[in-house]
Structure 1
Amino acid sequence: MSVKAGKHARELLLKEYRGVLSTHSKAMPGFPFGSVVPYCLDEQGHPLILISRIAQHTHNLKQDAKCSLLVGERGADDVQAVGRLTLLAEAQLLHDAAKIEAASQRYYRYFPDSQGHHRVHDFDFWRLQPVRGRYIGGFGAIHWLDQVTLGNPFAGDSEISMVEHMNSDHCRAIAHYVALAGLPNHVPAELAGIDSEGFHLRIGQALYWLAFPAPCKTAVEVRQALVALAHAEVWPTDGLPSA
């Protein structure tokens, strides 16, 4: 397995926040059924989705949990020349109250409008447990990957504290990140999540992942990285989001 390919595949999964979920059709046995789903990554770095109990893909998953999530770089002129990842997975319905609460807190930060759907309608959280990944980084750059995801050491109270602190006390720094990265600025950005390799900004309903100059192992290192970026004149090239 290429370590570099695994890193690029994981970054693609972080940079994007929607993909095509393919399930085994219950209504049309033998045929795959594709549907678009938004997702964020849970504490283990696995895709977390919130789907309706009456949706076709939910009926399919309840019959056969084997599925795949196709994620590709957004806005590409030539989709065959850019990165895409097919993540083969086993879908797991969350039952445990504590896990559902943790999923809710994280997912709502990424998709605030989903709170209404979840509370009013019959929606459930599902976790996609990766089995294997197929990453294509462009023409000829094709890899089977046994390990794509990476756990988030800050998930939970530590991440919530850092995100809330940045959003309440450091709006100017966040605006600076937006300007440096050349992101849309039609509405103020907010931090949605932090992981060891970077952080997510939510601008309106769009999400953007920006990489730290180097991975962070502790909350202190995260703070140091955010402070350094707030004073930077140029964003590190590897930290820029896909167009």
Structure 2
Amino acid sequence: MNHTQEEANRKAKPVAPKVKELIERTQSIILATTDAEGNPNSSYAPFVQLDNTFYILVSFMAKHTKNLADGRKASIMFIEDESATKQIYARERLTIETTPSQIERDSETWNTIVAKLKETHGKVVDVIADMQDFILIALQPVRGSYVNGFGSAYFVDEKLDILEHRNDVNHQSK
């Protein structure tokens, strides 16, 4: 392959379905939140997606729930399973900055999402949805990045569409 072909391949955008396929293969998201003092917390939560919003049912027994309930921005990540990756340094991943908001208990949205969570994750959702320390959080995408290999990183918009190649930082050798 000549230099021109390599450059064209590097700049070629992956098709949007790749992003959607990664989300569809994932049952839980990795969460990154901060508390009022700016202390970081990482965790995870099972999710469902409706339209362009991600929903999680989370307990106040977890630090991330207060951080999200307080409306602090959060980052979520979908990442290829380690056992399925060909190269551990280049795992396929989607990282999204989000704006969280709490869904009112027993609202139409609450009922719709809890039913979808039960359909996706099983009857345990009935049990935890009845517990008063569990709240439903909507995570609205703002922007993000999608990586599917070395030199293959892209900016993603709030609709999870690929915008452009992330060529703001180039890998360099000694």
Compute the TM-score of the two structures, normalised by the length of structure 2.
Answer: 0.75
3-state DSSP of counterpart to 2:14? helix
Spell out the pairing of 1:89-108 with structure 2 (5 A cutoff).
Answer: 89-95=98-104, 97-108=107-118
In the other structure, the counterpart of 2:160 is: 148
Q: Distance in 2 between matches of 1:116 and 1:64?
A: 26
1:65/1:92 contact within 8 Å kept: no
2:50 pairs with 1:38: no
3-state DSSP of counterpart to 2:84? coil
Q: Distance in 2 between matches of 1:71 and 1:13?
A: 6
In the other structure, the counterpart of 2:33 is: 23
Deviations 1:152-172 (A, max 9, x none): xxxxxxxxxxxxxxxxxxxxx
Of structures 1 and 2, the one with the larger relative CO (CA 8 A, separation 6+) is: 2
Structure 1 residue 63 displacement after superposition: 2.9
The AA in structure 2 aligned to 1:148 is L
Spell out the pairing of 1:66-215 with structure 2 (5 A cutoff).
Answer: 66-74=73-81, 75-77=83-85, 78-95=87-104, 97-112=107-122, 113-146=124-157, 147-148=159-160
The AA in structure 2 aligned to 1:60 is N
Going by fraction, where is strand more abundant, 1 or 2? 2
Residues 2 and 105 of structure 1: is their aligned pair in 2 closer, same or farther, counting only changes over 3 Å? Answer: farther
Going by fraction, where is helix more abundant, 1 or 2? 1
Residues 3 and 102 of structure 1: is their aligned pair in 2 closer, same or farther, counting only changes over 3 Å? Answer: farther
* Structure 2: stretches of 5+ with no match in the other structure: 1-10, 162-174
Structure 1 residue 99 displacement after superposition: 0.6
Structure 1 residue 20 displacement after superposition: 1.1
Residues 117 and 130 of structure 1: is their aligned pair in 2 closer, same or farther, counting only changes over 3 Å? Answer: same
Residues 15 and 30 of structure 1: is their aligned pair in 2 closer, same or farther, counting only changes over 3 Å? Answer: same
Q: How many pairs does the alignment contain?
A: 146
Structure 1 residue 3 displacement after superposition: 5.9
* Structure 1: stretches of 5+ with no match in the other structure: 150-243
